[in-house]
Structure 1
Amino acid sequence: MRAYKAKAVERIELPDREAREHYLREAGYNAFNLDADAVFIDLLTDSGTGTMSDEQWAALLRGDESYAGSESFQRLESAVADVMGFERIVPAHQGRGAENVLYGALISKGDYVPNNTHFDTTRAHITNAGGEPVDCPIESEPGDPFQGNLDVDGVRELASEVGAERIPAVVVTITNNSLAGQPVSIENLREARTVANDLDARLVIDACRFAENAYFVTQRETEFAGESVADVAREQLAVADAIVMSGKKDGLANVGGFVGVRADDDELYEQARQRGILYEGFTTYGGMAGRDLEAMAVGLREAVEETYVESRVEQVAELGELLQEVGVPIRTPTGGHAVYVDAGEFLPSIPHEEFPGQALVCALYREGGVRGVELGELAFPGTERDQLVRLCLPRRTYFRDHLEHVAETFAAVAERREELPGYEIVDEPEMKELRHFSAELRPIE
């Protein structure tokens, strides 16, 4: 059962099929280029797209828009300390701003950065700083409880190949967005802490979905059975030297982010603070309005409430069940923020170099005005990943009839799957790590 009720609504409308065909063609067959009002059910991302609570809306009116010394910043700082255990933060306009601040401070040319799996902007920021991002996911089977874990032995092998001195940081992303939103165990985080110590590297946690990860830990890790999500959330982050956070996910806000640094790490904090001033804004606003700081401060506290996070994860599982009922192959168990469809299995006649994930994204929009995102060869070129389509649920936004429409759309696509073409790129940016955001494609005749 949903742990909320609606206090405001927005009208949505499904454009007719002819219009959808036109919009898709004009967008260069890239869902990122579609106008939002042309989309009926928007599952492109959960980043900043959720519905804020009445308490968050009320907090907006408290926004202190002072350039320096904002009271709103102090309230965010207090919330981060209480909920996440980090007393010093450097605010940023969103998660990728925080990545720029932190990784620009940590990484030098020629460095290597292992991660359980880098997501797109993380990979791009590390590359931009002169580093080499290295994915170290564990090998797992469907149904394994913590498929998002870091391969600690893989990190050690990397260190033996390149030298420990060239690994300034070990990064763990919770949950593992690139690997179907799968959670990471606290046991694995402790192992990551040990290997970081052995390498004299900092342990960084990408914490943007920390509350969802904590919920999975309470459900799947025996040591923490019966513990509260709030307590586990702090416990899992306690092993980290620093965190990078997008407040647009488990901050339940529409914008914002920050870097968290331990109180005893003066060097890293000062480096991050100065980069924050240069790229984001002064230390007590960091590219956010005071009202945005207030909304995130409230949202962080709401994110670890049992009723909220349970209903959040259950809704994702509900979508997964509806898709399985119509024969859609998905990654199981479902993650905390999205359902990941195996587009390669769903469209076996389309080879990976013709982007089966993108073909499915286009077909979903064409059939039912549903917008998802490809996380396969287009988003991660040359990485030999599975061809996935991510269906991200905005927080506290959609209801069951919306999910049923998504399942019905998949069923309609399945009936025509043999007719679907592959795609080829017409135009793409120079930085291939970010090409899926703006590339233009066309169907292969």
Structure 2
Amino acid sequence: MDFSKYPAEPFKIKVVEPVKMISKEERIAAIKEAGYNTFNLKSEDCYIDLLTDSGTNAMSDSQWAGMMIGDEAYAGSKNWVFLESTIKELFGFKHVVPTHQGRGAENILSTIAIKPGQYVLGNMYFTTTRYHQERNGGIFMDIIRQEAHDATIDIPFKGDIDVEKMESIIKEKGPENIAYVCLAVTVNLAGGQPVSMKNMREVRKVADKYGVKVFYDATRCVENAYFIKEQEEGYQDKTIKEICHEMFSYSDGATCSGKKDGIVNIGGFLAINDDELFGKAKEIVVVFEGMPSYGGMSGRDMQAIAIGFREAMQFEYIEHRVKQVRYLGDRLKEAGIPIVEPVGGHAVFLDARRFCPHLDQEQFPAQSLAAALYVEAGVRSMERGIVSAGRDAKTGENHKPKLETVRLTIPRRVYTYAHMDIVAEACIKLFKHKEDIKPLKFVYEPKQLRFFTAKFDIAE
């Protein structure tokens, strides 16, 4: 292996969790019982679990040690003081509101910043984010660059906002009708694609011109910072911390799930610069999350997340994290497996349209492919296509995203390159008999965020 291209794990393994591969017959029975939805599978029945990188990370010895000094005071915990100061130092925001995870922060921001009928402009939707925006009367409009919707285009910073489109919509709708711009760094459903610093500056310039606020989804901001350091001119000698600090200087605030780049199992925050919005957020957090000094987290959780963010900004850590994901993507590309290009920071996305050309989008090719991959090798992945996109609230018709993908999401500090090899071999083997992958139909469809709990059966 070329260790400059794929660096070895920058850690030693101290604790292990045994896993086992159940038989193919047992996997067939398990996926059928789960309604062909990988979310409904039991964790113990999954050999390599790539469902998500959210809360599935391995914490360091420093984080575990930090949990031993958890101050579980209902108010004023010393761990909250440490977390608040850490976020202010690393991200540069004036105010911080803790939440149990990113979803809690999305709920609070949407509640305080959206008036019914206003538009939220974003660089591609994310499922829970859009749900909270629409639940509070917002209308989501996608302003990501057009290339992001094409899995075959390999260009840097595919998550950039189309600034001309952004300005055109602001002019058309009127600045007073724009709640805010939601800028995700990186863009999950586009394949974990990063946003350039140049684009962030341009977005800020247009937003200031019309008096529109810009809020980031900072969930994978450290990964985004790595791509800037690696690929954007003028940042090669900057530290990850310096890059992150500049990134957020172009925003008015951010929601963040600490379960990703915070390298923990629970926790998140909402950061804001505006004093009035901060006052409203503190009122809402008490109703939905807990006190403004813990927000649904225990003291030990807050200590772990603060340490996790500091560790995440160490170059050796983030270099290995991104390049381990890239290793899997490179192996699949070399074998001719269709994936979303370029490979992003947290996952490799199989392009289900090209993987399963015999299936129409209404036959749920990504859902079928995810189920088939589990049966093939006990690898749990996630559908990110028509099922995740949901239905139009007015017409009841399925949203049909241009990207129909299966996300192979790599938890942080959990798996080795050998595990990536097993995943790659399973995808390659499955691709050779892809015509055997069957279409699916709904047998149970919840009204909201259906991909989490829906059940399917083979469509005859």
The CA distance in 1 between the partners of 2:140 and 2:146, in whole Å, is 19
Q: Deviations over 1:111-143 (max 9, x none)?
A: 100001121000100011111111111023722
The CA distance in 2 between the partners of 1:345 and 1:352, in whole Å, is 11
Shift of 1:384: 2.8
Report 1:221-240 matches (<5 A): 221-240=232-251
Q: Deviations over 1:128-182 (max 9, x none)?
A: 1111111111023722110001112112222233221110211100001111001
The CA distance in 1 between the partners of 2:437 and 2:154, in whole Å, is 30
The CA distance in 2 between the partners of 1:372 and 1:151, in whole Å, is 30
State which of 350, 359, 378 in structure 2 corresponds to 1:369.
378
Shift of 1:88: 1.5
SS in 1 for 2:389: coil
* Cα-Cα RMSD: 1.1
Which portions of structure 1, spanning 4 or more consecutive aligned residues, are displaced by more than 4 angstroms? none
The CA distance in 2 between the partners of 1:387 and 1:430, in whole Å, is 20
Match in the other structure for 1:436: 451
Match in the other structure for 1:126: 133
CA contact 1:174–1:206 (8 Å) conserved in 2: yes
The CA distance in 2 between the partners of 1:61 and 1:257, in whole Å, is 20
The CA distance in 1 between the partners of 2:167 and 2:458, in whole Å, is 43
Residue 421 of structure 1 pairs with residue 430 of structure 2: no
Report 1:40-439 matches (<5 A): 40-140=47-147, 142-262=153-273, 265-381=274-390, 382-431=399-448, 434-439=449-454
CA contact 2:351–2:405 (8 Å) conserved in 1: yes
Shift of 1:436: 0.6
Shift of 1:414: 1.6
The CA distance in 1 between the partners of 2:189 and 2:140, in whole Å, is 14
CA contact 1:111–1:166 (8 Å) conserved in 2: yes
The CA distance in 2 between the partners of 1:86 and 1:136, in whole Å, is 25
CA contact 1:174–1:207 (8 Å) conserved in 2: yes
CA contact 1:60–1:291 (8 Å) conserved in 2: yes
The CA distance in 2 between the partners of 1:55 and 1:131, in whole Å, is 42
Shift of 1:198: 2.3
Q: Which amino acid aligns with 1:387?
A: E
The CA distance in 2 between the partners of 1:37 and 1:341, in whole Å, is 24
SS in 2 for 1:168: strand
SS in 1 for 2:270: strand
TM-score scaled by structure 2? 0.94
TM-score scaled by structure 1? 0.97
SS in 1 for 2:146: coil
CA contact 2:96–2:271 (8 Å) conserved in 1: yes
SS in 1 for 2:31: helix
Higher mean C-alpha deviation, range 327-336 or range 350-359: 327-336
Q: Deviations over 1:238-283 (max 9, x none)?
A: 1111110100011111100000011xx1101011111111110000
SS in 1 for 2:121: strand
SS in 2 for 1:357: helix
SS in 2 for 1:378: helix
Q: Deviations over 1:33-79 (max 9, x none)?
A: 10100111111110010100000000001111001111000000111
Alignment size in residue pairs: 441
Any stretches of 5+ residues in structure 1 without a counterpart?
A: none
SS in 2 for 1:259: strand
Q: Which amino acid aligns with 1:338?
A: A
Q: Deviations over 1:174-195 (max 9, x none)?
A: 0011110010001111111112
CA contact 1:78–1:87 (8 Å) conserved in 2: no
Shift of 1:325: 2.9
The CA distance in 2 between the partners of 1:340 and 1:106, in whole Å, is 32
CA contact 1:80–1:87 (8 Å) conserved in 2: no
SS in 2 for 1:243: strand
The CA distance in 2 between the partners of 1:416 and 1:16, in whole Å, is 20
Cα distance, 1:383–1:112 mapped onto 2, change above 3 Å: farther
Q: Which amino acid aligns with 2:359?
A: I
Higher mean C-alpha deviation, range 322-331 or range 121-130: 322-331
Q: Percent identity?
A: 42
Q: Which amino acid aligns with 1:132?
A: I
The CA distance in 1 between the partners of 2:341 and 2:361, in whole Å, is 22
Q: Which amino acid aligns with 2:128?
A: T
CA contact 2:190–2:403 (8 Å) conserved in 1: no
Match in the other structure for 1:16: 23
Q: Deviations over 1:1-20 (max 9, x none)?
A: 21111110000011101110
Shift of 1:87: 3.5
